Amino acid sequence: MNMLTIDKLYFVGIGGIGMSALARYFHAQGKKVGGYDKTETVLTKSLVQE
């Protein structure tokens, strides 16, 4: 898989410390990021604002 050709990513469990960090990283790299978590957390709230 070549990450240079992927422009959209979707993370399941995005409210966790690991997945949210990956989402922030890829977002900073210019990728479109989305995700789902069954529980709203401080991390998910801050990701929405970013």
Residue 35's pLDDT is what? 95
Q: Residue 1: is its pLDDT beyond 80? A: no
Query: Domain ranges in the chain?
Result: 3-49
The per-residue pLDDT for range 19-47, each reduced to its tens digit, is 999 999 999 999 999 999 999 988 888 88
Task: Give the span between the Cα atoms of 47 and 44, in whole angstroms.
Answer: 5
Residue 47's pLDDT is what? 87
Buried-exposed string 17-35: b where 16+ CB fall within 10 A, e elsewhere: eebbeebeebeeeeeebeb
Task: Give the span between the Cα atoms of 42 and 31, in whole angstroms.
Answer: 22
Say if domain 3-49 classifies as CATH 3.40.50.720.
yes
